[in-house]
Amino acid sequence: MNNDTIAAIATAPGEAGIGIVRISGNNAIDIADKLFKGKRVEKLSEAEQRKLTYGYIIDPKTGDKVDEVLAVYMKAPYTYTTEDVVEINCHGGSIPVRKVLELVLENGARMAERGEFTKRAFLNGRIDLSQAEAVMDLISAKTDTSYDVSLNQLEGKLSKEVREIRNILLNMLAHIEVSIDFPEEDIEQVTYEEIKKQGHEVYDRIKKLLDTVNTGKILREGLKTVILGKPNVGKSSLLNSLLRENRAIVTDVPGTTRDIIEEYINIKGIPLKLVDTAGIRQTEDIVEKIGVERAKELLNTADLVIAVFDASRELTEEDFHVMETIKDKKAIVLLNKTDLPVKTDENVIREKLGDKEIIKSSMVKEKGIDQLEETLRDMFFEGEVKISDNIIVTNVRHRDSLLKARNNIHEALEAIELGMTLDCIEVDVKDCWSNLGEITGDTVSEDIIDKIFKDFCIGK
């Protein structure tokens, strides 16, 4: 861990009420004392710790006032990084915070790297690696539900579960070592039975975590939902209704939507990445043709398809093509324009698409949207998700480590059943313990640590 002092702007760029410059390291207060002059105290080090102090940032070279600020000094180790930390609350806007940061850098600090404040919190032992990753998830959360999941991880619920599983593995390894060192027949038999029982517990607990991965992926990345159908069936109207705003152009002219429109939306706690596509049809228009091809390509990566049909017209070849395209996909069927006389034979759709949910709607009358939203939640969450009672795995890195750990313990259990020697079983148990340690950072490599924190913003 570097002992140098780092600094960065901790607030988002742009105009705001305040902008914060954060300093962390051994020289944080010395740098602040060079720049800060208070109304009631001469230096920030003379002010009461952990309380905002009013004053000015002064350029020590010229004696000129740079900004009117509130500053606070937080002494190690009870800080975010466990180091001395100073935060200077400037006026919001790019110029005040930039000028203050430049002075801080000129007087002994260096510019922080991406995620370096959180990286120092991890390396100094205040948080583990999964908690550090939860910080970024918390910042980027798109719904209240995904926020709650990230907060649970930040509080260490996933870490606690992983450490409990690793402790069981350590007990298994202890039993194995004793039997290897003291190879008596009765001890060995007891060891096989004991590690088999503990191995099944480890497997079950890892599997329980892996069972949450799909839900976690949806909460973290959003549910990629493609709106599909032939032209002029109401796809763009559906997008506008879900967004509660006129995002897409809606006309009676077929083929109005030619490019892909993407928007994030929160529906019943589910972050949806809604994709409105060009209408599926044969066309000679070059631009529209490109849009149709992009729509078909998007289907390969979609988590869900909302297939829209015009209930006021009889089914056409284009409709049958859409049905053929989505028959093996997770999909919801929307029979739109039911405010007009219905001519579509619903039974034909049921024959083609089996038990896929069919919802009757009218974008003009705002009918069917509530039912669609409820169906989306029921499909993916199977009712109410009680985040406070569950550990949900949202991180791809964690998923991969859990998959490797599950395979390790599965191989160990198979080896026990085959009566293989304990030293062979020990290898799989150790690998399982090591792979789980990658989640909390106990056994992770430096390269992975660097890669994780490079995804953070500069001031965090």
Binding site feature residues: 22, 87, 126, 232-237, 251-257, 276-279, 460
Report whether 79 contacts 24 (CB < 8 A): yes
Annotated binding residues for Mg(2+): 236, 257
Rounded Cα distance between 175 and 415, Å, is 16
Environment class of 87 (CB within 10 Å of its CB; exposed 0-12, middle 13-18, buried 19+): buried
State the binding site for (6S)-5-formyl-5,6,7,8-tetrahydrofolate.
22, 87, 126, 460
Q: Give just the sign of the alpha carbon dihedral 349, 300, 213, 152.
A: negative
* Cβ-proximal residues to 334 (8 Å cutoff; 6+ apart), any chain: 234, 238, 306, 307, 308, 309, 359, 361, 368, 372
- Coil/strand/helix, residue 258: coil
| Residues in contact with 382: Cβ distance below 8 Å, sequence separation at least 6, in sequence order | none
For the record, the structure tokens of 273 come out as 């990445």
Q: What angle do CA 156, 158, 160 make, to 5 degrees?
A: 65
- Name the β-bridge partners of 69: 55
The Cα–Cα gap between 10 and 21 comes to: 6
Binding site members for K(+): 232, 251, 253, 256
Q: Which residues are annotated as a binding site for GTP?
A: 232-237, 251-257, 276-279
CA 213/CA 217 separation, integer angstroms? 6
Count of H helices and E strands in the chain?
Answer: 16, 13
